[in-house]
């Protein structure tokens, strides 16, 4: 698997509609956080459009886009889901599910026409999509006194890093640091606590940064 530090996804759902030879193609693209969520979204769209002839689907998941699934839902094999997936991949997005609902208009489009219609429906929706960038951050935790923690928290927030604080006898901080920021956090903690406290790396998380 490729070592990916950032990838593009959608910030919110987007829809687009087009008509080709009397058939309506409604393209719905949604951000999702896994395969279960993608399949739930597909089921919801299907339930919302019970009279449509086809509900064709494609989704791309994971920071590296490695998990990919398609479904032609009764259209000739390879004429719907695969071109929809091609459009998502060409758009450079992941963690996205696409459903194209077709209301059949009585005119057969042929395999080439269907392929162009389904690919084009997804590409059209992507043109209006609100694209976000997710960046892999390294998560650090530390426990310090109130005054010391306040200094670290203030510097982290000035840098735009996500911070979570829990308060008790002392303050527990969790700071999610983007690539290249690790040394700055370590220096901030050492300076604020006179070297008494060290930030502990506890894992990674993905943060929407753009």
pLDDT digits (tens, 9 = 90+) for 105-119: 888 899 999 999 999
Query: CATH homologous superfamily for 6-129?
Result: Impact, N-terminal domain (3.30.230.30)
CATH 3.30.230.30 domain range(s) in the chain? 6-129
pLDDT in the model for residue 107 = 87
The predicted model gives 88-97 an average pLDDT of: 98
Phi then psi dihedrals of residue 23, to 5 deg: -90, 135
CB of 183 closer than 8 Å to CB of 173 = no
Question: pTM of the prediction?
Answer: 0.85
CATH 3.30.70.260 domain range(s) in the chain? 135-208
Q: How many angstroms separate the CA atoms of 74 and 186, rounded?
A: 57
Phi then psi dihedrals of residue 5, to 5 deg: -100, -15
CB of 56 closer than 8 Å to CB of 75 = yes
Condensed to tens digits (0 to 9), the pLDDT of residues 186-206 reads: 999 999 999 989 999 999 999
Pairing of strands 171-177, 131-144: antiparallel
The predicted model gives 25-39 an average pLDDT of: 98
Among 175, 178, 181, which residue's Cα sits nearest to residue 200?
A: 175
CB of 170 closer than 8 Å to CB of 193 = no
CATH code matching the domain that covers 135-208, chosen among 1.10.3720.10, 3.40.50.970, 3.30.70.260, 3.40.710.10: 3.30.70.260
pLDDT at residue 1 greater than cutoff 50: no
Q: Mapping DSSP to helix (H, G, I), strand (E, B) and coil, where does residue 194 land?
A: coil
The predicted model gives 94-102 an average pLDDT of: 98
């Amino acid at each position: 698997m490729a070592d990916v530090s950032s990838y593009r996804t959608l910030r919110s759902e987007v829809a687009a509609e087009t008509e080709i030879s009397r058939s309506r193609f409604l393209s719905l693209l949604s951000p999702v956080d896994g395969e279960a969520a993608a399949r739930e979204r597909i089921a919801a769209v299907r339930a919302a459009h019970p009279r449509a002839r086809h509900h064709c689907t494609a989704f791309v998941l994971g920071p590296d886009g490695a998990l990919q699934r398609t479904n032609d839902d009764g259209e000739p094999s390879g004429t719907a889901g695969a071109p929809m997936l091609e459009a998502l991949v060409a758009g450079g997005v992941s963690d996205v599910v696409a459903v194209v609902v077709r209301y059949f208009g009585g005119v057969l489009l042929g395999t080439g026409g269907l392929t162009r219609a389904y690919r084009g429906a997804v590409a059209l929706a992507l043109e209006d999509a609100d694209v976000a960038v997710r960046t892999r951050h390294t998560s650090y935790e530390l426990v310090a006194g109130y005054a010391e923690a306040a200094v670290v928290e203030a510097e982290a927030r000035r840098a735009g890093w996500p911070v979570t604080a829990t308060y008790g006898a002392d303050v527990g901080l969790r700071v999610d640091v983007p690539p290249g920021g690790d040394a700055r956090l370590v220096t901030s903690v050492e300076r604020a606590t006179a070297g008494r406290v060290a930030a502990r790396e506890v894992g990674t998380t993905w943060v929407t940064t753009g």
